[in-house]
Amino acid sequence: WDDCLPYFRKLENNDLGPGATRGTEGPLNATSIKTPHPLVEGLIGAAGALGLPHVTDFNSGDQEGVGYYQLTTRNGRRCSTAVAYL
């Protein structure tokens, strides 16, 4: 993880802003879900009631828990590695 992290940060353009595990100037977008879904919100709440942590950033290196994943999208469309770099 420690060896790869600088490269992950370099390639990423994360809408959560800069952080220890996030980049903001790379070509590959990492975007958060804009409209939470009621069923997913219920699932997250139920998991919390069972003692599972709510994860707000699965790209932080700590992935144990439940929450929304970020998407690799740009302007509402998938932003693949090819789209990001070519």
Assess whether pLDDT exceeds 90 at residue 49. yes
Helix (H) or strand (E) holding 9: helix 5-11
What average pLDDT does range 37-62 have in this prediction?
A: 92
In which band, very low, low, confident or very high, does the pLDDT at 57 lie, cut at 50, 70 and 90?
Answer: confident
| pLDDT of amino acid 86 | 86
Mean local confidence (pLDDT), 31-35: 91
Dihedral pair phi/psi, residue 28, rounded to 5°: -100, 110
Helices and strands, counts by H and E, the chain: 3, 4
Q: How far apart are CA 21 and CA 8, in angstroms?
A: 8
Q: Which domain holds residue 12?
A: 5-85
CA atoms within 13 A on the CB side of 77: 5
Whether the predicted pLDDT of 22 surpasses 80: yes
Report how many domains make up the chain.
1
| Between 61 and 86, residue with greater pLDDT | 86
- What is the band of 60 on the pLDDT scale with cuts at 50, 70, 90? confident
Block residue for tokens 């959560």: 16
Residue 33 pLDDT greater than 80, yes or no: yes
